[in-house]
Amino acid sequence: MPRLLLEASHIQKNFGERRVLDVDRLSLYDGERVGLIGENGAGKSTLLAILAGEQDPDGGTVSRRCPVALIRQARDADAEGDARNRAEFRAPERHDGLSGGELTRRRIAAALSADAPLLLADEPTTDLDAEGVALLTRRLEAHRGALVLVSHDRALLTRLCTRILYLEDGRITDFPGGYAAWQAETARRRERQQFEYDQYRAETARLKAAAQKKAEWAASVRKAPRRMGNSEARLHTREYTNAVLQQSHAKRVLENRLAHLEVRERPRDLPEIRMALGVAHPVAAKSILEARVKRLRAGGRTLLSNARFALPTGSRTALLGGNGCGKTTLLRALRGETGGGVEFAGELRLNPGARVAWFDQDHGRTLDLARTALENVMADSTLPESVCRTVLARLNLGAEDALKPAGLLSGGERAKAALAKLLLSDANLLLLDEPTNHLDVFTLEALEGLLQAYGGTVLFVSHDRAFIEAVATRLLRFEDGTLVPFEGTRAQFEAEQRRDRRAEDRQLEITALEMRLAALAARMSAPRKGDRPDQLSAEYDALAQALRERKGQA
C-alpha cells in the first residue's frame, strides 16, 4: 500500500461569519496526482495553505509525515530556487521589473528546488507561455511523490490528475478518477437530477389534481330532496354521508402522499442572456484599429520594431508570444499608457466610432473596491439591473457576492466583476490582458460563451490553450521582433505548421536526392576503377524515380 504522506481531520476555517472550510477528513498518499477544483472563493488556496502549514485552521489538525512544498499563486518576487531549477525554467535572478510569467517561473523554481515528496501547486500556469507550460507539465509528470494541483488549465488537469477533490460549501467530494471522467460523471448526475426533478414535478401536479377532483366530487353529492319520504330521506342521508366521507378520505390520502413526497431540487442552470453584448455602438468600417509600431521598448530591450497590424471589426484576436516578449506592454501602449521605462514610437489609427475598454490584471485599476460588484458593473452600463445581475450570475458571481464590496471579494471574484463590467459597458473594443487568470473552470466555460456571442471586437492575451481555441477567430504572434497575423484558429494554425514542416522535410529530401543524382551523374561520366556501368545506371534510375515521387508529393 502507498505510504501516507499527509492526513487532515476536521479542518475548519472561518472568514468572519462565513465558514469557508469544513473538511471532515483528507488523506494524501505517495504517488497520487490529485486535482482540487471548485468555484472561485470556495477556499482552494486557503486549504492548500493550511495543508502546507502556512496558515492555521480555526479547528482540526494536519499531520504531515514528509516535507511539503507549495507553488504559491501570489505574485511575490522574493521566491528563490537553486541554480539548476532557475536555469531550467529561465527564472530571472533580479527581483524587480518582472513580467507575470517571469514571477511564476521564479515561484516554480523555488518550490521544485525543495525536492519535497508532497508538492502543492496553486495555479502554477498563471501567466506562463506555451513553452513554460510544457516544461512544467513534464516536471510535474516526473515528480517523485504526491501532487495536489489547483488549476484553471483544463488540459493540464486532464493530463495529470487521476483523483479529483471537488470543494463546495466548505466540504470535499472525493472522486476516484481523472478530470474528464469527473466531468462525465457530473453531467450524468445532473441529467439524473433533472429527470428526478421532472418526475417530482409531474407527480406533484398529478396528486394535486386528483385531490382537487375528490374535493369537487364530495361537493357535488346531492342532499335528500325536500319532498322525499322519511325512510327514503334517511337512506339517502346515509348514502350521502358515506360518499362524502369516502371522497374526503381519498382526498386526505392524496394530500398525505403529497406532503410526504420526497422533494427533488432543480439542477442549477446558468441564466440565459437574451441579447448580444457589445453591439450598442456598431462600427461599419472594415478595421476598428490599425497600428504601425516603429519601436516598442521596455527596460532597455527592444520588443518590436517596424511592425504593422490591424484588428478587423468584429474579430476576436489572440495575442501570442513567449514570457517577456511584450504582450502586456503592447496592450498598454495601445491604451496610451507609457512611461516607467516603456517607450513607444509609431502611429495608431482608431476608428472614430471605437469605444475601448480595458481588462487589467490589477483589478484595482478597473473596480472601485469600496462599491459593491453590482454597483461597479452598473456604473458604466446603460442596461437594466436585471441584465447586469444575469451576466454576473453567468460568471458564477451569485446574488449574495454581487452585493459585497469589491474589496472583500477574492481575486477570482474580482476578476468576474471586472469582466462583467467590461462586457456590460458601451464599449465595442475590448483589450483583455490574461482574463483567464484566477478564474475557476466553470467560469472559464461561461466566459467563453459570452465572448463567442460578443458583438464587438476583442484583442486578448491568454496562455490557456482551450480558451484560445474556443474564443479566438484569428491570431497575432510576436516573432523575431515583429508581429505576424494568422487568419484562423489556433488549431488551424498548428495544422498549417505541421503541413509546412512536412513540406520542408520533403524539400530537404528532394535537395538531398538531387545532390546524390548530380554526384552519380558525374561519376557515370568519369567512372572510377571498379565501377560497373550497369550498377551505376540502375542506381541512377532508382534515385530518379524516388525524386519524381517526392516532387509529386510536394
DSSP conformation letters of 205-246: HHHHHHHHHHHHHHHHPPPPPTTS-HHHHHHHHHHHHHHHHH
**pTM of the predicted model, to two decimals?**
0.69
Grid cell of 125 as nine digits: 500556469
Q: Give the pLDDT confidence score for residue 224 in this predicted structure.
A: 47
Torsion of Cα atoms, 34 then 449 then 322 then 291, to 10°: -170
Query: What residues are paired with 287 via a beta bridge?
Result: 312
Neighbours of 539 (CB within 10 A): 15
Helix (H) or strand (E) holding 504: helix 490-525
Phi, psi of 322, deg, nearest 5: -70, 165
Query: What residues are paired with 486 via a beta bridge?
Result: 475
Distance CA 396, CA 407 (A): 18
End-to-end CA distance of the chain: 56
Q: Give the pLDDT confidence score for residue 338 in this predicted structure.
A: 79
176 Cβ neighbours under 8 A, 6+ residues apart: 163
Distance CA 324, CA 365 (A): 22
Q: Give the pLDDT confidence score for residue 63 in this predicted structure.
A: 95
Neighbours of 288 (CB within 10 A): 24
Q: Give the pLDDT confidence score for residue 135 in this predicted structure.
A: 92
For 506, 518, 538, 543, 550, the CA distances from 511, given in Å and listed in that order, are 9, 11, 20, 12, 10
274 Cβ neighbours under 8 A, 6+ residues apart: none
Long-range CB contacts (within 8 A, 24+) of 87-94 = 88/135, 88/139, 89/132, 89/135, 89/136, 90/323
Burial class of residue 505 in the structure, from the number of CB atoms within 10 Å of its CB (0-12 exposed, 13-18 middle, 19+ buried) = exposed
Burial class of residue 244 in the structure, from the number of CB atoms within 10 Å of its CB (0-12 exposed, 13-18 middle, 19+ buried) = middle
Q: Give the pLDDT confidence score for residue 13 in this predicted structure.
A: 93
Contact yes or no for 190/183 (Cβ under 8 A)? no
Distance CA 399, CA 446 (A): 17
Instruction: Give, in degrees to the nearest 5, the angle at Cα 43 between 39 and 46.
Output: 145
Name the residue with cell 429527470: 195
Q: Give the pLDDT confidence score for residue 290 in this predicted structure.
A: 94
Written as tens digits, the pLDDT of the chain (554 aa) is: 689 999 999 999 998 888 899 999 999 999 999 999 988 888 999 999 999 999 999 999 999 999 999 998 875 656 678 888 888 888 887 767 777 888 889 999 999 999 999 999 999 998 888 888 889 999 999 999 999 999 988 889 999 999 999 998 899 999 998 998 888 888 787 777 777 777 767 777 776 777 677 666 666 654 545 555 455 545 445 555 565 556 666 667 666 776 776 766 666 665 555 556 777 788 889 999 999 999 998 878 899 999 999 999 999 999 998 888 889 899 988 988 877 778 899 999 999 999 998 888 777 778 888 999 999 999 888 888 888 888 898 888 888 889 999 888 888 888 899 999 988 888 899 999 988 887 888 888 888 988 998 989 999 999 888 899 999 999 999 988 899 999 998 888 888 877 767 767 777 777 887 788 777 777 777 777 777 877 878 887 887 888 787 777 65
Contact yes or no for 310/459 (Cβ under 8 A)? no
Sheet containing 301-312: which strands, arranged edge to edge? 301-312, 287-298, 342-350
Sign of the dihedral defined by the CA atoms of residues 123, 124, 127, 130, in that order = negative
Q: Using DSSP, how many helices (H) and how many strands (E) does the chain show? A: 16, 18
